[in-house]
Amino acid sequence: GANAGSCTQWSTLTTSGTAGGTVTLTGGVLRGTGHVGNITNNGGIVRPGTSPGTMTVDGTFTQGTGGTLEIDVAGTTPATGFDVLSVGDAANLDGTLHVVQGAGFAPQNSDVFKFMTSASRSGTFATLTGDAIGDGRSYHLDYPAGPDFGAQLVVQPPPPPQNTGKP
């Protein structure tokens, strides 16, 4: 594997083995199922797995305001039904979480998708996109306060109908 790398605009870096050191994204895409030492995503897209799958960050995952983490959700099983980013150390969150809903998959209202685990977490994703499920339901972000920290998507049922009739 490589010792370190960077990803700039319009390039894709696929990891299936080990990329030690720090991978810094200022554009482009980092995807795959391998191990990465550290990730600093300032303006690129991180896509764990191979739709879906698991990417392991042995150290720290840091996402700035311009970065996007893209998570495929096509089932309820971690790594085979939905993407997982497994972070060995701290997850420092900002930027965008983009959800890619699998064709033909309809989550239940009780479903929880723990797409990120980490030893600790600071910050939250500033923006959630691709969150509409249909039928008035949507994904919402939740940040567990204890191990394995990270972040998860929960299905939010539609709001109750408004009673506009008179008593």
Q: What does the pLDDT look like over 119-147, one tens digit per residue?
A: 999 999 999 999 999 888 999 999 999 99
Question: Is the pTM for the entire model greater than 0.75?
Answer: yes
Distance CA 49, CA 72 (A): 9
Is pLDDT above 60 for 8?
Answer: no
Is pLDDT above 70 for 61?
Answer: yes
At residue 17, the pLDDT reads 64
Q: How confident is the model at residue 165 (pLDDT cuts 50, 70, 90)?
A: confident
Answer whether 54's CB lies under 8 Å from 36's CB.
Answer: no
Mean pLDDT of the chain: 89
β-bridge partners, 40: 24, 62
B/e letters for 108-138, b = 16+ CB within 10 Å, e = fewer, are: eeebebbbbbbeebeeebeebebbebeeebb
Nearest to 70 by CA among 20, 120, 28, 107: 28
Which amino acid is residue 142, in one-letter code? D
Residue 42, number of CB atoms within 10 A of its CB:
16
